[in-house]
Amino acid sequence: MRVDELIANRSRPLFSVELWPPRSPAAEARLEAALAGLSRLEVDFASITYGAGGSTREHTHELVIRLRRDYGLLPVAHLVTAAHTQADLEAILERYTRQGIENLLALRGDPPLEASCALAPGEFNHAIDLARLASRKYSMCVGVAAHPEGHPEAPDFEADMDRLAEKLEVADYAITQFFYTADRYARLRDALAKRGVDKPVLPGIMAPTSLSTLRRMAELSGTSIPAKVAARLERFEGDPAGFQAEGTQIAIELCSELLAMGVEGLHVFTMNQAATTVAIHEALFGSRGA
């Protein structure tokens, strides 16, 4: 099944998640616990991240295959152009194609949170080049990234929307970076409509679990943290359980607004933890979906 087919044939808003490939036994245990929790939900697809410069290349591939084989989940493999040659990318795409994987999220790639410098460039300079390769040569269903507030490296929002419109001429859908006010999503959707683009754009949802991590991720992604959101979270600094509950509630309120706007689905960045994702799903759809 392809993600574009899922979106086109949906009878309810889709609910999808992002997972990370584990790099240690402890991370493996956390992932297994997350998968056990997520099995309670109706998850339409799971995207699997790809480490900076290919640092999780094998782990990503193994998790993509295992999710389909062992959990019956539809996997979407992330792939980045940074630090890769075209031959590298073709080898990865050929391997996926041989194993029946037909969904890809094409990205340029960003350094990890702890990095202080940019990744080495790849032979392809932009995600659109990878999207063309995957869709035209390998007939894959391709998603791309969207930034509701504009990419941090773009000169302005309108220029970034021009680039996103170009990507969506090639790709089948987009998933946004996280954001915290529904009007940001509405502005992005309206900007694409003005450019004649009607491809689906799934909003990316992240329930904050740490104020320091949120601020660092917001800085890297060009996402603003609304003053009201920051104030709500700051009340619970030093209270992890209270912070998680408040962050989850913020995400639920945003999702409710987005569903009222008629979004095709919600894509939750799980951080490989099931509790907040389960809480979001149950608040919106119940324990087994709509």
Q: Say which residue the tokens 């302005």 belong to.
A: 156
For residue 262, what are the CA distances in angstroms to 69, 189, 192, 255, 259?
A: 33, 11, 16, 11, 5
The gap between the terminal CA atoms of the chain, to the nearest Å, is 20
Between 21 and 57, name the one with better pLDDT. Answer: 21
Is the pLDDT at 54 greater than 70? The verdict is no
Q: Do 164 and 146 meet the contact criterion of CB atoms below 8 Å apart? A: yes
Q: Do 220 and 110 meet the contact criterion of CB atoms below 8 Å apart? A: yes
Q: Say which residue the tokens 């800085």 belong to.
A: 219
Average of pLDDT values for 91-118?
83
- Residue 176, SS3 per DSSP: strand
Q: Is the dihedral of CA 273, 278, 279, 280 positive or negative?
A: positive
- Residue 237, SS3 per DSSP: coil
Average of pLDDT values for 250-278?
97
Is the pLDDT at 249 greater than 90? The verdict is yes
Is the pLDDT at 47 greater than 60? The verdict is yes
pLDDT in tens, 2-13: 999 999 999 999
Q: What is the pLDDT of residue 83?
A: 83
The domain 3-284 is placed in CATH, from the list 3.30.70.1560, 1.50.40.10, 3.90.228.20, 3.20.20.220, at: 3.20.20.220
Give CA 218 to chain center in angstroms: 15
Is the pLDDT at 252 greater than 50? The verdict is yes
Residue 243: left (phi > 0), alpha (psi -120 to 50), or beta?
Answer: alpha
Q: Do 270 and 47 meet the contact criterion of CB atoms below 8 Å apart? A: no
Is the pLDDT at 34 greater than 80? The verdict is yes
The DSSP H or E segment spanning 250 is: helix 240-260
Is the pLDDT at 211 greater than 50? The verdict is yes
Average of pLDDT values for 258-264?
98
pLDDT in tens, 152-204: 999 999 999 999 999 999 999 999 999 999 999 999 999 999 999 999 999 99
Model confidence band, residue 112 (pLDDT cutoffs 50, 70, 90): low
Q: What span, in angstroms and rounded, lies between the C-alpha atoms of 235 and 186?
A: 29
In three-state form (DSSP H/G/I as H, E/B as E, the rest C), the secondary structure along 81-147 is CCCCCHHHHHHHHHHHHHCCCCEEEEECCCCCCCCCCCCCCCCCCCHHHHHHHHHHHCCCEEEEEEC
Q: What is the pLDDT of residue 109?
A: 81
Task: Give the least confident one: 76-90, 110-124, 146-160.
Answer: 110-124
Is the pLDDT at 217 greater than 60? The verdict is yes
Is the pLDDT at 115 greater than 60? The verdict is no
Average of pLDDT values for 45-61?
85
Q: Which of the residues are catalytic?
A: 18
Residues contacting residue 127 through CB under 8 Å, at least 6 positions apart: 81, 106, 107, 108, 144, 145, 167
The DSSP H or E segment spanning 80 is: strand 75-80
Q: What is the pLDDT of residue 118?
A: 62
Task: Give the least confident one: 50-59, 97-106, 173-182.
Answer: 50-59
Model confidence band, residue 289 (pLDDT cutoffs 50, 70, 90): very low
The predicted model scores a pTM of 0.94
Is the pLDDT at 288 greater than 60? The verdict is no
Among candidates 149, 150, 138, which has minimal Cα distance to 90?
A: 138
Is the pLDDT at 114 greater than 70? The verdict is no
Q: What is the pLDDT of residue 290?
A: 43
Q: What is the pLDDT of residue 4?
A: 98
